Structure 1
């Protein structure tokens, strides 16, 4: 690319900031604009439901780069700015104020947003979601004022906020539609480990719950009514029922989408001038041999290196295995690999699941390792990756024996 070329990044999270960093690190010297609808320079999301809610980290601690970094690296950082359309014919991005920004290469890093429930009361005061620093700050303030919190959804965000709320002394009820929390991600057997964890910490976990409405009084949430007419009283309600990728710009620009924006192994879309990274990237994964879209921190951290290379016209392939982690109370966990929704897989436990110190492996019908999760066991992630990448069958009995080296 020549020095007079123009690169534009749309997005205000970790992926956008890391992509700007990678472009400069890979010696791109042309114009570089980063467009973010948020008021703050890009920051990481995991602390919003973890260390920030626990009062251990402030925004400055998980901001990717300070404002001066963008000035020093000649990145035109446009905060409080919303991209409203992409015109692929003229290669321009339209902004909310009616202006446009031209591009030679464009990166979409628009992230995701909380999914809403189609029930009455979700817009009432005292109903919370969690995606931004402002929403995390609001929850942190709530922790100092409320006594009873109802969390709708037993996924990662819901359980992490629950753990923080319990440590702050709140009474917490979690309403989960499935038989155990995290069932879609981990299955019933491992989901039960997290159910026991929260039960041991005093959480009122109600599985198989169906929510009918958020009960309100004078416009403020005062509880949640289930379909069996049970009412759980609350001072506040958190909606944590998943996320939806922000693909509207891509859809309106006629870029192919599926679970997210369709990209190839190099993170390029069907338009060679446009890449997509992070939560919205529905990638053809070279190792897994299928499309996957992962809404986790590691993708936002690692994909930008490949996306930057692709934007600069060089060959690149993103082949890292999916990875995510959680911290809840005294439980720390890392998960590596991928099990497709509905895929038939057996689980092998290595260690003490009841004592919450173990490694779990998901195996396909040929005993090939698909994924591994270490709970309060450390320094095994690289070995789990090797077991997955080799693609060789594993002996389940040997895999379960902690006395045999992985």
Structure 2
């Protein structure tokens, strides 16, 4: 599966700061010190509907992580998956009487278009669940051989008790885990499981549903968590720098994935930091495909909204904060974009070197984009009120905003 084209990231004078970011597993800020190549895995979409602003906010956060790393002169090895076979996709295809493969391909293509428009840097490896199946099957077999997996009516489950570190990503109690498992794709009430929290590794073939040859596992399809583990281990290995996604992935998805990987490799932890973006709400409730309270990036674009304004609307909120989308949020972003473009359209202006450092400092401090935006606002206001004599300063600002914030002026 191919990703989307990369926008050029301007090179800036000087060098960026190492990133301090909130790690869910430790509950505090950690300073990331990757080697020459920083490694990041971000969980991708299940392509049964278009990209909404909640998706965009999550991918914007991890785009900022990449930009901070690139500014430190590191390379970035970014991997993202596409869960192109799963119950929600199959249910949507059946509801709409369309082929599930065609639906997945259509929505994945639209996601690429949205990411391109928003200037999100693409992953080096963009891998679908279906194409990952040949690498998933051996992992499930290894877990079964190690006694960390068991069969239940031909389905195969992972035993969470096989990982002594289980629970160290989300730090939730058993009651909260069971509740979230039921809400987020698990089946804690299924009779016969050793532990209600045990997640499925391999689902045996069901009538009328797609299935693949699983060798000794029989025909079926993979569970959600082992999909990401197989892709991450194949392309990044253990101990990569950041495992990212929305806050709703901390449990069960990232918790279970970490346990799968740790049992498979005997190493701990799977990732050096587990980083989670906040949720975006509409009309008082989290944007959700199941609820249908969505604002789609593609629809905003069709309505003539500049993608740079959409990006500024996202950047106006700290990545870890839960926030609510309103028309005012977008109006403010459009107005900010107009002010910034007017400010950089002049041939000279106030000195910009200090502004570049302010943006760097803000982003290195747990991706504090709102503080970075406020710094650019101050420069733009000074440009409007007093102008300046620094030839080329507007160009420096334009390149810095593009390189560090992903906004093309």
What TM-score comes out, normalization by structure 2 length?
0.25
Structure scoring higher RCO (CA < 8 A, sep ≥ 6) equals: 2
More strand by share: 1
More helix by share: 2
